[in-house]
């Protein structure tokens, strides 16, 4: 049975008032990307785009070009991050334009990135810029918005007719099961019908999705903290074995070998419940973080292709429409994590993706 790949998409690449206020006039993710510097010999930084350039997602041409490139190389659809803070939305201009214009004609879904925004870029409580608050009233307002504005769109990704929506950090909710019950009941009342709801699995939360009220989990990669556990106050032994010690960067960052990480992940058994697999082409968030970054050293399209082929060979879809493989990410440039073409690799990651998925 064929698989469908969904690439996670960051709609951050355009200026908006809150970023101007918090980070300076005209700030976008490109600001961080272009400031990155190599920290050791052969360290791949900065990651700079080629084919699509330093795009602005307010422009329809940019959004159409992204979708065309993804489709050309076998990507089924995008999973856009969705930012909702008690009715206040952020980074919503590209999504609103896609909904209003009907372009591009490309499948999409959303993942509610329900973290606080802080100056640490990690959803931490420190140095908060905007905080998530949860309530039944907000649950109702939120699902009303999703049903009216997104789930009715014919391009929206569905599973057996049910709109597929994901939640990034369910562990942040006071009662996630109650939120999901509210969402499901309200969607029925509004005529949308049943929902298909998943959660991004990681962040020390790896429970059977059914016990929380979800339909499925997504194995969110890379999963440094649970796949490779860190001991409190020090690096765990498993992580230590994968480290490539770089004296100039080691004291402030965690550096591991991509191929060694992939080997570790490939040896893990699949869980007994529904979980869609996920893969990351590379990872290096030093563009965002001056210290405490994770760096996957020596990532390459060849090892990525080997990992993706392993997933395609071992993941048996749960049904004809429950056949998704997630790719993290399409365009997380400041995390050194992207399928979009860059100066070092060109379209090599896209070509690897097409070889695996296109040959099924």
pLDDT digits (tens, 9 = 90+) for 138-176: 999 999 999 999 999 999 999 999 999 999 999 999 999
Q: What is the 3-state secondary structure (H, E, C) of the chain?
A: CCCEEEEEECCCCCCCHHHHHHHCCCCCHHHHHHHCCCCCCCCCCCCCECCCCCCCCCCHHHHHHHHHHHHHCCEEEEEEEEEEECCEEECCHHHHHHHHHCCCCCCEEEEECCCCEECCCCCCCCCEEECCCCCHHHHHHHHHHHHHHCCCCCCECEECCEEEEEECCHHHCCCHHHHHHHHHHHHHHCCCCCCEEEEEEECCECCCHHHHCCCEEEECCCCHHHHCCCCCCCCCHHHHHHECCCHHHHCCCEEEEHHHHHHHHHCCCCCCCCEECEECCCCEHHHCCCCCCEEEECCCHHHHHHHHHHHHHHCCCCCCCCCEEEECCCEEHHHCEECCCECCCECHHHHHHHHHHHCC
Q: Please choose, from the candidates 264, 256, 293, 298, the residue with its C-alpha nearest in 3D space to the C-alpha of residue 281.
A: 298
Instruction: State the Cα–Cα distance between residues 308 and 286, nearest whole angstrom.
Output: 25
Kindly give the pairing relationship between strand 196-201 and strand 162-167.
parallel
Q: What are the residues facing 200 on neighbouring strands?
A: 218
User: Phi and psi dihedrals of 130, rounded to 5?
Assistant: -150, 135
Instruction: State the Cα–Cα distance between residues 124 and 116, nearest whole angstrom.
Output: 7
The answer to whether 334 touches 74, Cβ cutoff 8 Å, is: no
Q: Which residues of the chain have pLDDT under 70?
A: 119-127, 225-251
Residue 215 is encoded by which pair of tokens?
Answer: 């339909």
pLDDT of residue 5: 98
pLDDT of residue 104: 98
Residue 248 is encoded by which pair of tokens?
Answer: 């100039």
Instruction: State the Cα–Cα distance between residues 45 and 188, nearest whole angstrom.
Output: 48
pLDDT digits (tens, 9 = 90+) for 248-281: 566 678 888 899 899 999 999 999 999 999 999 9
What angle is formed at CA 295 by the lines to CA 291 and CA 300, rounded to 5 degrees? 160
Rounded alpha-carbon distances, angstroms, from residue 343 to 25, 50, 282: 27, 6, 14
| Threshold 0.75, pTM exceeds | yes
pLDDT of residue 126: 58
Could you give the domains of the chain? 4-36+48-230+271-285+299-358 (3.20.20.80)
């Amino acid at each position: 049975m064929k698989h469908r790949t969904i690439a996670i998409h960051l709609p951050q690449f355009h200026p908006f008032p809150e970023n101007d206020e918090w980070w300076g006039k005209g700030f976008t993710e490109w600001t961080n990307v272009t400031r990155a510097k190599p920290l050791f010999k052969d360290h791949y930084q900065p990651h700079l785009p080629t084919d699509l350039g330093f795009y602005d997602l307010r422009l329809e041409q940019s959004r159409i070009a992204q979708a065309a490139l993804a489709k050309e190389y076998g990507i089924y659809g995008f999973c856009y991050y969705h930012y909702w803070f008690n009715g206040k939305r952020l980074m919503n201009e590209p999504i609103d334009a896609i909904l209003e214009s009907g372009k591009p004609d490309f499948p999409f879904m959303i993942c509610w990135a329900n973290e606080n925004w802080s100056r640490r870029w990690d959803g931490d409580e420190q140095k908060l810029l905007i905080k998530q608050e949860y309530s039944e009233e907000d649950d109702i307002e939120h699902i009303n918005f999703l049903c009216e504005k997104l789930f009715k769109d014919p391009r929206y990704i569905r599973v057996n007719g049910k709109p597929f929506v994901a939640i990034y950090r369910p562990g942040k909710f006071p009662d996630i099961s109650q939120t999901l019950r509210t969402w499901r009941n309200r969607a029925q009342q509004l005529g949308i019908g049943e929902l298909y709801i998943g959660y991004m699995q990681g962040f020390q939360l790896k429970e059977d999705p059914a016990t929380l009220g979800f339909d499925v989990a997504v194995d969110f990669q890379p999963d440094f903290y649970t796949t490779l556990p860190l001991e409190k106050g020090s690096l765990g032994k498993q992580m230590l074995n994968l480290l490539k010690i770089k004296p100039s960067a080691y004291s402030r960052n965690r550096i591991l070998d991509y191929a060694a990480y992939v080997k570790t992940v490939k040896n893990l058994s699949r869980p007994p419940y529904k979980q869609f697999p996920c893969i990351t082409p590379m990872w290096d968030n030093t563009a965002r973080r001056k210290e405490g970054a994770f760096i996957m050293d020596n990532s390459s399209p060849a090892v990525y292709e080997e990992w993706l082929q392993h997933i395609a060979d071992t993941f048996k879809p749960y049904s004809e429409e429950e056949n998704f493989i997630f790719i993290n990410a399409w365009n997380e440039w400041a995390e050194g994590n992207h399928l979009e073409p860059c100066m070092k690799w060109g379209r090599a990651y896209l070509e690897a993706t097409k070889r695996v998925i296109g040959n099924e």
